[in-house]
């Protein structure tokens, strides 16, 4: 069953063309948990050289959306209705990992939370929380 889940999520992820555009990949799929990884690229930044807030949001939104989808029937579709994102530190470093987790699954509304960690010089730092 986990193989089915993996396949279902990864197939859907492959249709999120913007993930290819920015170079993100899905690195973890478990029930209620999805991770997305994004290596640094100089064409993803804002004016001061940090990852653009929207790019960071994009991967945490996708991680949360698919985390929600893991808890839904195979026929279900998921759509973001709202999120709140706190930027704790400017996001920089060799790569980002966004972790989406289901907080409360629901029939019509699933609540998730997400974190983004930045990796630089072998150190990990929490940069975003949603």
- Residue count at the site for its own copies (CB under 8 A)? 46
d(CA 69, CA 33): 10
d(CA 61, CA 10): 15
Alpha carbon distances (Å) from 125 to 4, 77, 118: 33, 32, 5
In the complex, minimum distance from the CB of residue 31 to its own copies, in angstroms, rounded to a whole number: 19
| By CB under 8 A, residue 88 contacts its own copies | yes
Per DSSP, 47 falls in state T
In the complex, minimum distance from the CB of residue 44 to its own copies, in angstroms, rounded to a whole number: 5
**Choice from 1, 3, 47, 75 touching its own copies (CB under 8 A):** 47
Of 92, 98, 94, 125, the closest CA to residue 113 belongs to: 98
Q: 94-113 mask for its own copies (x: CB under 8 A)?
A: ---------xx---xx-x-x
Site residues (CB under 8 A) for its own copies? 12-13, 15-18, 20-22, 42-48, 52-55, 57-59, 61-62, 65, 77, 79-90, 103-104, 108-109, 111, 113, 129
């Amino acid at each position: 069953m986990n193989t089915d889940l993996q396949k279902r999520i990864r197939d859907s992820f492959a249709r999120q063309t913007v993930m290819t555009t920015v170079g993100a990949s899905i690195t973890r799929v478990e029930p209620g948990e999805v991770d997305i990884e994004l290596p640094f690229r100089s064409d993803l930044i804002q004016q001061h050289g940090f990852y653009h807030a929207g790019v960071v949001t994009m991967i945490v939104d996708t991680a949360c959306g698919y985390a929600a989808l893991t808890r839904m029937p195979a026929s279900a579709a998921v759509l973001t209705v709202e999120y709140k994102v706190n930027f704790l530190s400017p996001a920089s470093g060799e790569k980002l990992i966004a972790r989406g987790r289901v907080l409360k699954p629901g029939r019509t509304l699933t609540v998730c939370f997400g974190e983004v960690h930045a990796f630089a010089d072998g150190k990990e730092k929490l940069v975003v929380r949603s």
